[in-house]
Amino acid sequence: MIREVVDAIPMTSLVDARDRAILLIGYGGALRRSELAAIQLEYVTLDDDCMRITLPRSKGDKKHQGTTIIIPRGITRHCPVRAWETWLRQSKLTPRKKTKGAKADSENTNTAAFPQIWAPAATKDNKPPPAPKIGTQSLSDWSVAKIIKQRCHAAGIEGDFSGHSLRRGAITTRAQDSFDLTSLKRFSRHRDYRVLEAYIEEDQALTKHPGKTRF
């Protein structure tokens, strides 16, 4: 389903590149919408094997020790790392210049990885339009949820989608791929197995029903 959604994105604008990266990274890292919105450029690193996203704060990190999410580099057009590289290349985002006296990890010292974008106004006389304006503030978690819903509906996929759909879909898909609970817990970053089991219980009630092969 996630492939259908991203393949329906026309990739004709900067917003398209940003939204495609949001969807694939959110799915690839089983990220919450608040975590996607909070990603800062300074906390993302790339190498030949993967991308690493450090979240200074997240829901499961009660002691605020920071969490690093690793997303492997793939070989298909749906690779989250490639989507991130495309977004960076097109947006030309660079770390923000430090403001003297600004506190560490404040809005004045870090660069939003997924900022707001304003489309340019229409021009007259067939003049080329100006470049879109990229804001300095991160998208809100509500905006991330809206992007997920809009892109799913634009792809013609019906359903009650929300800001949690990427994370839930990532976890249930890997459960269908027969990953064990320990691997799933490491992937999802849940603190409690009981919470994780609740994610996959409903799905497996059908796919692994004991009577399925007898009916």
Q: Which domain holds residue 76?
A: 2-95+109-116+133-159
- Quick check: is 121 in a domain? no
Percentage of the chain modeled with pLDDT above 90: 48
Spell out the residues 6+ positions from residue 127 whose beta carbon is closer than 8 angstroms to its own. none
- pLDDT on residue 100: 57
Domain of 39, CATH number, reads 1.10.443.10
What is the tens place of the pLDDT at every residue in 186-210?
Answer: 777 767 777 667 666 655 544 554 5
Average pLDDT of every residue of the chain: 82
Q: Which residue carries 């007259």 as its tokens? A: 124
Backbone φ, ψ for residue 205 (5° rounding) = -60, -30
Which letter does DSSP use for residue 41 in this model? G
- Quick check: is 168 in a domain? no
Neighbours of 128 (CB within 10 A): 7
Distance of CA 74 to the CA centre of its chain: 16
- pLDDT on residue 119: 79
Contact 15, 81 (CB under 8 A): no
What is the tens place of the pLDDT at every residue in 120-140?
Answer: 776 677 777 777 889 989 999
d(CA 33, CA 160) in angstroms, rounded, equals 16
- pLDDT on residue 130: 76
Asked if residue 56 has pLDDT above 50, the reply is yes
Contact 15, 119 (CB under 8 A): yes
Which has the closest alpha carbon to 6: 84, 114, 92, 111?
A: 84
- Quick check: is 54 in a domain? yes
- pLDDT on residue 205: 46
d(CA 60, CA 136) in angstroms, rounded, equals 27
Asked if residue 82 has pLDDT above 80, the reply is yes
Domains: count for the chain: 1
Asked if residue 183 has pLDDT above 90, the reply is no
Asked if residue 212 has pLDDT above 70, the reply is no
Q: Which residue has the higher pLDDT, 91 or 104?
A: 91
Confidence of residue 50 (pLDDT cuts 50, 70, 90): very high
- pLDDT on residue 58: 65
What is the tens place of the pLDDT at every residue in 156-174?
Answer: 998 888 888 888 888 888 7
- Quick check: is 194 in a domain? no
User: How many separate helices (H) and strands (E) can be counted in the chain?
Assistant: 8, 5
- Quick check: is 153 in a domain? yes
- Quick check: is 183 in a domain? no
- Quick check: is 38 in a domain? yes
